[in-house]
Chains A and B, each alone.
Chain A
Amino acid sequence: MTEETNKTVMLDVIDLKKTFGELEVLRGINIKIYKGDIVVITGPSGSGKSTFLRCLNCMEDPTGGSIMFDGVDIADQKIDINVHRRHMGMVFQHFNLFNNKTVVENIMLAPVHIGLSELKKAFRGNLESGRELAGMFPDYANRETGELSDEIRALGKSAACKKLKQDARDKAISLLKRIGLDSHADKYPSTLSGGQKQRVAIVRSLAMNPDVILFDEPTSALDPEMVGEVLDLMKQLAREGMTMITVTHEMGFAKEVANRVVFVDEGVIKESASPQEFFEHPKNPRLQEFLSKVLV
């Protein structure tokens, strides 16, 4: 990765606030996430770290402040959040695979559904849809101009739709191959182990070619012997330059992979530093106390 792309701001969070009724959970969070960042967020239980992560893709609507993503404030209620969420993957503590869909259908669902809708609009001459389409299926349209590619135009609408479904399936299968679960493609999620489910959930979010992936305690619902396989996959993504924001208690992962560790407590960021600095020279007294409990 070049020096320049390293400096691209991906997410700019400004004075983010969230209240649930009377309860003030986030009291003004400010952070810039750069492209390629691996940020680990940690903090004591009830500190607001999960709420913060869930505000980043508006799973929880922020009650104040702004989140700049792609030059748009996504905390603004008026924007169409669905379009921006495509560019942000999310992985949940409890996996949340679609129970009524097979493993491969879980991965294909969003690319096929959203892809088809954008493809149809692109055929009607909508360039914005063409650009969105190119984000998911690079061969289909020009990422800059949004013009459909000659190949797709030559196919015509219905053949192109068919091709898109097939391509989405092929891509889903290749993602499954990557995690060694292609033989489970047509099984239902209930037949998988926790570690397998979480790995499928991670590649499901990859299927949309997101710019950033949010991980909400991805390993805390797993049996101990399955934590490793999930962390290994996350490390792989990190090496490939994926921007990742992870809420976790896995301090080993933070030390080894993160380039920034953030300590959230009482709804604000109390400390943000490189892992070395964070673990060896913590400045905030609450962080020192927290680390003394976590790192036994």
Chain B
Amino acid sequence: MGNFGAKIDKFIEIFIDQNGSAKVIEGLENTLLIAICGLIIGIVIGTLIAAVRVMPKYSRLSRILNGFCSFYVGLFRGTPMVVQLLVFYYVLLPLIGLKMSGVTVSLLVFGLNSGAYISEIMRSGIQSVDPGQMEAGRAVGLSFGTTMMKVVIPQAIKNILPTLGNEFIALIKETSVVSFVGASDLYVAFNYIGSNSYEFMVPYLVMALIYIVLVLIISAGIKLMERRLKRSDRRN
């Protein structure tokens, strides 16, 4: 480890002088953009799927929707994220003749993928809410959908917040595969620095540190939100 100092000097040189910092910031932005947009799309899709799956199955429409949702969840949970990215980018897009940047494709695929996982998280969250809440909403004349959105899902989200946080953390970490479709994330940035200096130790170490700091910040944020959402449980 005698030349560790020299390695750091080399890293700093490239980081500052050869445009490395700009690459890292771009990578960080893309990583966060993909994870956050993915999570938001995932929550929307996941909530919709979960609502369909707990809906009473009287009508034919609800049974068809339910079948479609099962298929969707099976598809996205049954294949690795990398495969989904590759299929989306190299198979689906050319087939329908659309051009999209790697980042756009990544955040869409991350959203679709996490939607499948979040739907299961959300379903267990919805089922953890007392059925009396739904009954009370229906009894005053609100529809299934309205009661779901205004009463049941807010309570379900509170129950699943820690699990949802884990999903977000998983998404952040999984963004490291988006370079497969040409999106420049943190990995691409540090790989650039490493390749230019023929020295990978420090860049990858810094990359690991950045991921850890990101995850720690998110965990703290979730704790804070949990405490705020617990308000309605506490006596005041």
Q: Contacts A77-B58, A92-B132, A94-B132; is A99 near B232 (CB within 8 Å)?
A: yes
Docked Cα-Cα span, A205 to B234, in Å, equals: 25
Binding site for B on A (CB under 8 A): 57, 59, 77, 82-86, 88-90, 92, 94, 96-101, 109-110, 113-114, 187-191, 201, 204-205, 208
Q: Is the CB of A59 within 8 A of B139?
A: yes
Query: Which residues of the partner chain A approach B132 to less than 8 Å between Cβ atoms?
Result: 92, 94, 96
Q: Is the CB of B158 within 8 A of A100?
A: yes
Q: Looking at the complex, which one of B133, B140, B141 makes contact with A99 (CB distance below 8 Å)?
A: B133
B200 → chain A, closest Cβ, in Å? 50
How many residues of B are counted as interface, with CB atoms below 8 angstroms from the partner's CB atoms? 25
Docked Cα-Cα span, A83 to B142, in Å, equals: 9
Query: Which residues of the partner chain A approach B141 to less than 8 Å between Cβ atoms?
Result: 82-86, 110, 114, 208
Determine if B150 is an interface residue (Cβ-Cβ < 8 Å).
yes
Q: Looking at the complex, which one of A77, A89, A99, A101 makes contact with B139 (CB distance below 8 Å)?
A: A89
Q: Looking at the complex, which one of B135, B143, B151, B235 makes contact with A101 (CB distance below 8 Å)?
A: B151
Other A-B pairs, 9, CB within 8 Å; known A90-B139, A92-B132 = A82-B138, A85-B138, A86-B140, A98-B136, A98-B137, A110-B137, A113-B142, A190-B234, A201-B136
Q: Is the CB of B234 within 8 A of A109?
A: no
Some 12 contacts from A to B, beta carbons below 8 A apart, are A77-B58, A85-B139, A90-B140, A92-B135, A92-B139, A100-B155, A100-B158, A101-B151, A113-B142, A190-B233, A191-B236, A205-B140
Query: Which residues of the partner chain A approach B135 to less than 8 Å between Cβ atoms?
Result: 59, 92, 96
Query: Which residues of the partner chain B approach A204 to less than 8 Å between Cβ atoms?
Result: 140
Task: Enumerate B216-230 residues with CB–CB distance to A below 8 Å.
Answer: none
